[in-house]
């Protein structure tokens, strides 16, 4: 279902559900729990980590800025859903893989090691929906890769599903065959922790989710 049909007393227009991301993975995850965004509006913000910023602080800041940025552009009553996913080795934030070499850089460092994936989810109402509530959830998941040979890294790079992914891999892609252990939220690693997202939506006025 979409958010259409949800009405509030004294309100003639149902709030829209706006996803502040063009990620097809996040759209598919929302569809998995029966939600289709009324609008998809990626946030145009600077995602450069601040000097000395921890992975937790970075994920929370970026997700919050995405939600606020998009909410500020909306005239209609709406609830904005934003998220940011960070792959971290200790206090080090690994980059999103934008080319083959940055993906190799990440995979070589993740090989045989345990790392943390943090996804922060934020909901923010537009100014014209005063009934809406701000909310934040930060989800941490521990992921352990098996040791990767140079040949295996090359094969993962050839598969190509690392493009644009934090840490240079996709849990739902070819790298899944090399993940030895996962403790936490699989959907959070993919990009949107569904349990926590559902909690945030159920906490809003109206029937956002069953």
Q: Return the active site residues.
A: 84
Q: How far apart are the two ends of the chain, measured CA to CA in Å? A: 11
Three-class SS of residue 36?
coil
DSSP 82-107: EEEEEEEETTEEPPB--SHHHHHHHH
- How many helices (H) and strands (E) the chain has is answered by 6, 7
Residue with tokens 């939506």: 201
- Spatial contact of 139 and 184, defined as CB atoms under 8 Å apart: yes
């Amino acid at each position: 279902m979409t958010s259409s049909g949800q009405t509030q007393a004294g309100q003639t227009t149902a709030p829209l559900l706006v996803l502040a991301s063009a990620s097809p993975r996040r759209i598919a995850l929302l569809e998995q729990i029966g939600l289709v965004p009324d609008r998809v509006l990626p946030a145009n913000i600077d995602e450069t980590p601040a000097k000395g910023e921890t992975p937790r602080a970075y994920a929370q800041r970026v997700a919050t800025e995405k939600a606020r940025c998009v909410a500020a552009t909306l005239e209609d009553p709406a609830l904005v859903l934003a998220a940011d996913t960070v792959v971290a080795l200790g206090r080090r934030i690994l980059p999103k893989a934008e080319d083959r070499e940055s993906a190799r850089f990440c995979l070589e460092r993740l090989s045989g090691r345990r790392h943390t994936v943090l996804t922060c989810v934020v909901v923010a109402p537009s100014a014209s929906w005063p009934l809406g509530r701000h909310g934040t959830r930060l989800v941490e998941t521990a992921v352990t890769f098996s040791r990767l040979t140079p040949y295996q890294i090359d094969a993962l790079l050839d598969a190509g599903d690392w493009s644009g992914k934090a840490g240079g891999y996709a849990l739902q892609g070819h790298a899944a065959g090399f993940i030895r252990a996962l403790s936490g939220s699989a959907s959070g690693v993919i990009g949107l922790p569904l349990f926590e997202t559902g909690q945030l939506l159920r906490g809003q006025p109206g029937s956002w989710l069953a």
